[in-house]
Amino acid sequence: MTISKGFTLIEVVIVIAIIGMLSVVAIPVYKSHLEKARIAQTNSAIEKNTVEETSLEEAPGGDATDDNVFAENDDAIATSA
């Protein structure tokens, strides 16, 4: 009897087929998770911007659309330079 080392062609083909079947299932699930993560990240950014805008509006004389919202900051930077 001879003892062969290695895999037969059938074994390799079966392993490749199993990997292919697993990837057919795994790739759509992975893409779904990526899409959910992007949505969550966008919602977080929207919420953060909403909170920042609200805090600007609540500031003394605050109008988030006012061009002079940061005027005090600009003046402080200009005088310190």
Residue 39 lies in a domain: yes
70 pLDDT band, cuts 50/70/90, is low
Percent of the chain as helix, strand, coil, to the nearest 5? 75, 0, 25
Range of the domain at 25: 20-54
Could you tell me if residue 28 is inside a domain? Answer: yes
Residues 21, 26: Cα–Cα separation, whole Å: 9
Number of domains composing the chain? 1
Structure tokens at 45: 């950014």
pLDDT score for 37 = 96
Tell me whether residue 59 is in a domain: no
Q: Is 7 left (phi over 0), alpha (psi -120 to 50) or beta?
A: beta
The verdict on pTM exceeding 0.85 is no
- In this predicted structure, the answer to whether residue 59 has a pLDDT above a threshold of 80 is no
In a domain, 48, yes or no: yes
Q: Is 43 part of a structural domain of the chain?
A: yes
Predicted confidence band at 53 (pLDDT cuts at 50, 70, 90)?
confident
pLDDT at 55: 82
